[in-house]
Amino acid sequence: QTGDGEYKIWITLQDNQTYFNVWSERYEGVLPEGSFFKLQTQVAESIVYRIAGEHGVTNQTILKDYHQIQVAPPAFELASLLYARWTSELSQAAFDKALEATEQAHREEPENAAALAMLADLYTFDYLHGYNQVENALDLSFDLARQAARMDSQLQLAYQVIAFNQYLRGNLSEFTSNAERALAINPYNSNALSAKGLFAAGACRN
């Protein structure tokens, strides 16, 4: 709806099997001057991330039903589910399951850039939290993330992991450039935004 120079948009996501409303949101504000299509694009991108992002409604719904799955999904699908669960919980138990599944997915699909990036992220946190399950975890993480970025230049997670690695190594200019590149791919990714803000704050304190 539009009127008096303002807009209001109501969005509802419904499960087409149960007809249960799994998500709803309202967007409102002042209509921008010039092209209305720019506003449409911004809202559409935001909706896509809220639904299909790593912490989006789709992943959260699937994770709730994870224990009811009767047949084991393909390796990459299982790795993606367990990786999403780990990023939600950040517990070592969730980490262990995600690591095992993602390493298996990588063995089965060595050219899968997304699996490489997830594995790189897990290796970084193995180093950061001192789990010590992976030898030379930080170096391996860096190499895998760069490989993933070469394979898919639009893979945001790869640049997030590269930026995190550079931050941990004290290369703040490289951290900033890679964090900005990650955000340019998807500015609605809350993880990328919060990580850049947190690390930038730490850099300022140092």
Q: Which residue has the tokens 């092209």?
A: 35
Q: In this predicted structure, what is the pLDDT of residue 2?
A: 82
Sign of the dihedral defined by the CA atoms of residues 156, 166, 150, 80, in that order: negative
Q: In this predicted structure, what is the pLDDT of residue 162?
A: 95
Q: What is the DSSP string of 111-147?
A: T-HHHHHHHHHHHHHHHHTT---STTHHHHHHHHHHH
Q: In this predicted structure, what is the pLDDT of residue 102?
A: 96
Q: What would you report as the CA-atom Rg of the chain, rounded to the nearest whole angstrom?
A: 19
Q: In this predicted structure, what is the pLDDT of residue 25?
A: 87
Tens digit of pLDDT for each residue in 31-90? 877 677 888 888 888 888 777 766 677 766 666 665 555 556 789 988 988 888 888 788
Q: What is the DSSP string of 160-182?
A: HHHHHHHHHTT-HHHHHHHHHHH
Residues of the chain with pLDDT under 70: 34, 53-55, 59-72, 188-206
Query: Taking a C-beta distance cutoff of 8 angstroms, is the pair 161, 191 a contact?
Result: no
